[in-house]
């Protein structure tokens, strides 16, 4: 994965060096995996936890095989002919990122990982009471040339408790060139982001019909509001856990393979929960793109907010 030489990646429209003023490295909290007091303090201070080997690697790889097989069944033209779908090799010129819907996110091999004892035990301890997860799961197959812009998760799922946490699950080994996640440590409390939290952070994409991404070019975020982006290379079974108002994005996938990840949400049982993401058939985003012409562009909204 990493080497002694400087690592380079593509972030937005920029070629960057890892461990530079633009991009640092995420703190590995695996050393404190059994100390809830330390983990709670780091989560409060940094806004995230990176935990290596959180899931059983063999179970993750079994989930990966089942999910890739289903993605291949749905989109065979996207995979390189004659290759093993497990490898995620993309047919040149095809690509195309997609989520796969419930056929992928309800596979038993996948649920064995994200609804297994490990995540529930962990969040029950972290939250001080029994934990629950959204019924809706976000399985993502990201093609070469794709990336995710800078955003908060609150604009997509902010109708319940504020003590809701995203777990970004690496469902394969993810070197920098495959476009892993990056975030701005401390951006949930940094003073420079206060107005962003008070405006953009209070939006709801279904209610307000706004773009979800705050900024397509992530480096503009830290240039304007402070902080430093941080990322890491991940292995199958590693996770990144963070709250609803942490600014995050992904690096560009510059490889020749699909990046397979999933993001799942956990909160304490009994706390208010966003009704869009629970039940046998969660309704999800019911209004966001129902009338695309009415969606307000984020650039115009930011001018209106003065951020």
DSSP-derived secondary structure for 165-220? EEEEEE-S-B-GGG--EEE-TTTTT-GGGHHHHHTGGG--HHHH-B-S-SBSSHHH
Mean pLDDT of 197-217: 96
* Alpha-carbon distances, residue 41 vs 25, 35, 46, 185, 286 (angstroms): 19, 10, 8, 13, 37
Query: 105 with 66: CB under 8 angstroms?
Result: no
Average of per-residue pLDDT values in the chain: 95
Domain boundaries, the chain: 9-186+216-283
Q: Provide the pLDDT for residue 292.
A: 83
Does domain 9-186+216-283 sit in CATH 2.60.120.620? yes
Does residue 227 carry a pLDDT above 80? yes
For residue 102, name the pLDDT band (cuts at 50, 70, 90). Answer: confident
Query: 207 with 296: CB under 8 angstroms?
Result: no
Does residue 3 carry a pLDDT above 50? no
Q: Provide the pLDDT for residue 100.
A: 66
141: left (phi over 0), alpha (psi -120 to 50) or beta: beta
């Amino acid at each position: 994965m990493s080497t002694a030489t400087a690592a380079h990646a593509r972030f937005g429209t920029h070629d960057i060096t890892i461990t530079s003023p633009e991009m640092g490295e995420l703190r590995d909290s695996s050393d404190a995996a059994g100390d809830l007091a330390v983990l709670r303090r780091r989560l409060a201070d940094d806004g995230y936890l990176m935990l290596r080997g959180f899931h059983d690697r063999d179970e993750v790889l079994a989930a990966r095989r089942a999910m890739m097989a289903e993605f291949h069944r749905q989109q065979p033209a996207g995979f390189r002919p004659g290759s093993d779908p497990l490898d995620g090799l993309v047919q040149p010129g095809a690509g195309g990122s997609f989520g796969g819907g419930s056929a992928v996110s309800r596979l038993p091999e996948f649920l064995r990982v994200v609804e297994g004892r490990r995540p529930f035990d962990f969040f029950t301890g972290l939250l001080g009471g029994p934990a629950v997860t959204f019924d809706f799961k976000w399985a993502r197959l990201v093609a070469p040339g794709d990336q995710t812009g800078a955003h908060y998760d609150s604009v997509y799922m902010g109708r319940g408790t504020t003590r809701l946490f995203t777990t970004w699950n690496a469902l394969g080994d993810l070197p920098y060139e495959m476009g892993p996640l990056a975030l701005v440590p401390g951006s949930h409390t940094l003073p420079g982001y206060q107005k962003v939290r008070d405006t953009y952070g209070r939006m709801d994409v279904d209610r307000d019909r706004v773009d979800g991404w705050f900024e397509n070019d992530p480096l503009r975020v830290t240039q304007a509001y402070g902080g430093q982006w941080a990322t890491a290379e991940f292995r199958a079974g590693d996770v990144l856990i963070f709250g609803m108002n942490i600014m995050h994005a992904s690096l560009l996938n510059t490889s020749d393979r699909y990046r397979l990840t999933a993001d799942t949400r956990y909160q304490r049982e009994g706390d208010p929960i966003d009704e869009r993401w629970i039940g046998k058939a969660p309704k999800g985003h019911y209004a966001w793109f129902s009338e695309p012409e009415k969606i307000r562009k984020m650039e115009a909204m930011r001018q209106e907010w003065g951020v």
